[in-house]
Amino acid sequence: MPQAKYPKIVVTPPGPKARELVQQDHSLISQSLVRFYPLVAESGQGCIVRDVDGNEFIDFNSGLVCLAVGHSHPKVVAAIKSQAEKLIHYSYTDFYYEKVVQFSKELTKITPGNFPKRVFLGNSGTEAIEAAMKLAKWHTRKHGFISFIGAFHGRTLGSLSLTASKPAQRRHFLPMVPGDTHVPFAYCYRCPFKLEYPDCGMYCVDFIQEQVLDTYLPPEDVAALFTEPIQGEGGYVVPPDDYFKRLKKLLDKNGILMVDDEVQAGMGRTGRWFGIENWGVEPDILCTSKALASGLPIGATVAKADIMDWEGGSHANTFGGNPVSCAAGIEVINAIRDEHLMENAVKQGNYIMKRLKEFQEKYPIIGDVRGKGLMIGAEIVKDPKTKEFGETEAKDIMMKSFRRGLALITCGHSTLRITPPLTITRDLIDPGLDILEGAVKEVAGANK
Ligand SMILES: Cc1ncc(COP(=O)(O)O)c(C=O)c1O
């Protein structure tokens, strides 16, 4: 049988150069970061990331879910080079340039809703959320927000107030910005109400009305509800099909804006430009970042034009809408469209889900497999009956995979996340999943 070309492990990672760099990093760099494992990236091409010791990994991470069109897509690289030679900076928040207008026009075309829109550009996911928070306050003149337990919306103090997926994110940073209320999300595998879908009648939506808005949080004081279409850092939690329609109806009834955080799920990852489109819902404000410029910093807040009605000077920044990032973003949109990457996300995602479900039959430590397109999670448990989180097991699987040449990470308590570039094909998926199965099998065996 011919040997698969990838992955290529020439020295068990971390190799000597990687170890040396990690050591320097640990004495120099803020250790507030997460760091899943000592992958010291040197270069990337397509769906392969190469480390400083010459190991080549199959990349099921896409960086941090940023490389939808793969590492160093040639058209994106060409656009970056050409724009960098022309204009690198001239703050769009104080002056004007063409790339911001071109890019924003494209964004208004691909975001859900056939209504006039306006765009605010920042540099990151958290800035897109901060802009949405301020905009919602400015437009509605209300101060309250609702967000979900398990949510991740960023780490600056405004977005952190909405975030609620890990204690470490908030420890010693209290108090948060006042005015946010957290409610349970539709995490059906671990229903917070111990109910079962569909018999539950989606009580988690009724709960917001009955136990929150009708009980102690006057809707007149709530500007917006923030939600991810699929909870990302919270564990790749996919709500049931009719959830968002019901939720949007509730919000409209109470005069509360819906802010859709597509920072992780957006840009084709779920098989649609934006995750919420899988459920036919049009949010009032949408935030996106990560894959937007294939790894260059940018974040966008896109709102209905009549909502983005704030006055001059109310919100701006220096670097947002950088022309090089915008040029890259235009090519990202072109590549997703022209190379049919959303179709590929659905096709390859279905195949990966099918194989993961086969693994689940064989290895009961895989408690749940869920996802849309190429945003896929496999939740690891110690025992499928008790559903006790398999935190050490998930970490073990991740580390074994890394040492064998598959880069994937976890999210939530114990969910393996599978988010390769949308360009991935079977010749890399199969060896990647074979490595994953080998790791799961070993850890499941040790767990008996
Ligand atoms: C859904 C979601 N929102 C917001 C953010 C924050 O983005 P950034 O890290 O660019 O600030 C993230 C980052 O992981 C995210 O996944």
pLDDT of 342-400, one tens digit each?
Answer: 999 999 999 999 999 999 999 999 999 999 999 999 999 999 999 999 999 999 999 99
Instruction: Please report which helix (H) or strand (E) contains residue 148, including its range.
Output: strand 144-148
Give the HSE-up count for residue 156: Cα atoms under 13 Å, Cβ half-sphere.
Answer: 11
Ligand 1: which of 227, 263, 287 to mutate, most ligand atoms within 8 Å of CB?
263
pLDDT at res. 60: 98
Angle among Cα 151, 152, 158 to the nearest 5 degrees reads 105
What angle do helix axes 341-362 and 323-338 make, rounded to 10 degrees? Answer: 70
Q: Does the beta carbon of 130 lie inside 6 Å of ligand 1? A: no
What's the one-letter identity of residue 418?
I
Angle among Cα 242, 245, 249 to the nearest 5 degrees reads 140
Radius of gyration of the chain (CA): 22
Straight-line distance from the first to the last Cα atom of the chain, in angstroms, rounded to the nearest whole number: 33
- Please spell the DSSP secondary structure of 260-287, one letter per residue: EE-TTTTTTTTSSSSGGGGGT---SEEE
Q: Does the beta carbon of 51 lie inside 6 Å of ligand 1? A: no
Which DSSP symbol is given to 427?
H
pLDDT at res. 22: 97
In this structure, the number of other CB atoms found within 10 A of the CB of residue 167 comes to 7
Reported residue count of the chain is 448
> Is the peptide bond between 364 and the residue preceding it cis, with omega within 30 degrees of 0?
no
DSSP strand pairing (406-407 vs 56-59) = parallel
> What separation in Å is there between the alpha carbon of 200 and the centre of ligand 1?
31
CB neighbour list of residue 339: distance below 8 Å, 6 or more residues apart = 69, 423
Strand partners, 392: none
* Nearest atom (ligand 1) to Cα of 124: 10
Phi, psi (degrees; rounded to nearest 5) at 447: -85, -10
Q: Does the beta carbon of 125 lie inside 6 Å of ligand 1? A: yes
Mean pLDDT value across the chain: 97
- Please spell the DSSP secondary structure of 58-82, one letter per residue: EESSHHHHT-TT-BT-HHHHHHHHH
Q: Does the beta carbon of 154 lie inside 6 Å of ligand 1? A: yes
Ligand 1: which of 152, 274, 325 to mutate, most ligand atoms within 8 Å of CB?
152
d(CA 81, CA 377): 36
pLDDT over threshold 90, residue 3: no
- Please spell the DSSP secondary structure of 371-399, one letter per residue: EETTEEEEEEBS-TTT--B-HHHHHHHHH
pLDDT over threshold 80, residue 185: yes
CB neighbour list of residue 66: distance below 8 Å, 6 or more residues apart = 290, 291, 294, 295
> What separation in Å is there between the alpha carbon of 126 and the centre of ligand 1?
6
> What separation in Å is there between the alpha carbon of 152 and the centre of ligand 1?
7
Q: Buried (b) or exposed (e) across 62-88, using 16+ Cβ within 10 A?
A: bbebbbbbbbebebbeebbeebeeeee
pLDDT at res. 446: 72
Phi, psi (degrees; rounded to nearest 5) at 2: -65, 140
Nearest CA to ligand 1 atom 7: 125
pLDDT over threshold 60, residue 2: no
> What separation in Å is there between the alpha carbon of 11 and the centre of ligand 1?
33
Taken in order 400, 403, 404, 406, the sign of the CA dihedral is positive
pLDDT over threshold 90, residue 216: yes
> What separation in Å is there between the alpha carbon of 233 and the centre of ligand 1?
9
- Residue identified by tokens 């998930």 is 394
Task: State both tokens at 100.
Answer: 């911001």
pLDDT at res. 4: 65
Q: Does the beta carbon of 349 lie inside 6 Å of ligand 1? A: no
- Residue identified by tokens 């992955």 is 7
> What separation in Å is there between the alpha carbon of 165 and the centre of ligand 1?
12
Q: What is the largest CA-CA distance in the chain?
A: 67
Q: Does the beta carbon of 417 lie inside 6 Å of ligand 1? A: no
CB neighbour list of residue 340: distance below 8 Å, 6 or more residues apart = none
pLDDT at res. 447: 63
> What separation in Å is there between the alpha carbon of 10 and the centre of ligand 1?
34
Nearest CA to ligand 1 atom 8: 125
- What value does the mean pLDDT take over residues 393-417? 98
Q: Buried (b) or exposed (e) across 350-383, using 16+ Cβ within 10 A?
A: eebbebbeebbeebebbbbbbbbbbbbbbbbbbe
> What separation in Å is there between the alpha carbon of 227 and the centre of ligand 1?
12
DSSP H helical ranges for 141-281: 157-162, 167-170, 203-207, 243-254
pLDDT of 285-309, one tens digit each?
Answer: 999 999 999 999 999 999 999 999 9
pLDDT over threshold 70, residue 1: no
